[in-house]
Each structure stands twice: as structure tokens, then as C-alpha cells.
Amino acid sequence: MFKTTREKGASFEQQARLFLEQQGLRFIAANQHFKCGELDLIMADGDTYVFVEVRQRKTILFGSAVESVDWRKQQKWLDAANMWLAQRNLSLEDADCRFDLIAFGRTASDIEWLPNFLD
């Protein structure tokens, strides 16, 4: 199976990417790291940048994958997106973008897509 948590995360991120591509989104980048946070996937939906957070929980003992995206994580997500956009001379104020959540249960087939999660 998976040797490390990182390998497990990479597998779910790959499954999320494939799922989103099947929905018509185009892949731009993965695992973009900044001091303020990380962006799991960056996709495009037409002219819209889509910043995707991928979460997985094998048990709901400590909350679901959706519930794990707390206020602090949301702030890091926004800050990282703003840093990525700034590298392209853009900002959240002038770029067409949205924030989608892909939440997995125990398996890759147990997937929930929540577009515009931060709206």
C-alpha cells in the first residue's frame, strides 16, 4: 500500500486531478509551496484559475475531510493563492479565480467535489 503519508497524499491528489480533468478542467500546477501555505492543485476552468485543496479522512472520528478545512487552513489557502497570483502580476482582486475542495473518504472512489468552497 502506501509507505508514507506523503505518498498517500500524492495518490489522492493524482486521483483528484484526474477527476477534475474528466470534468473539463485543465491542469496547471501541483504542490506549490510558499511560506504562508501550500496549494495542492491549480487547475483552469476556462479563464478561471481554480485553487484546489485535497483532503482525505479514513475515519470521521476527528471530523470529516470537509470539516478539517478550518478558518486557519482557509486563510493559508487564500494567502498561498495570492502569492501564486502575485508571481504572475495578478491578485485575488483582479484575477478570475475560485477555491474548490475535493474531499475523499476511505477510498479514491469516495469523492466529493465542492466548487466555490470559500464563497
CATH architecture for segment(s) 5-114:
3-Layer(aba) Sandwich (3.40)
Strand order across the beta sheet in which 37-45 lies: 26-34, 37-45, 48-56, 97-104, 111-114
Q: What is the pLDDT of residue 85?
A: 98
The pTM of the full predicted model, rounded to 2 decimals, is 0.87
Interval 13-50: pLDDT, tens: 999 999 999 999 999 999 999 999 999 999 999 999 99
- 119 — pLDDT class (breaks 50, 70, 90): confident
Domain extents for the chain? Answer: 5-114
Mean pLDDT of 103-111: 80
Mean pLDDT of 69-97: 94
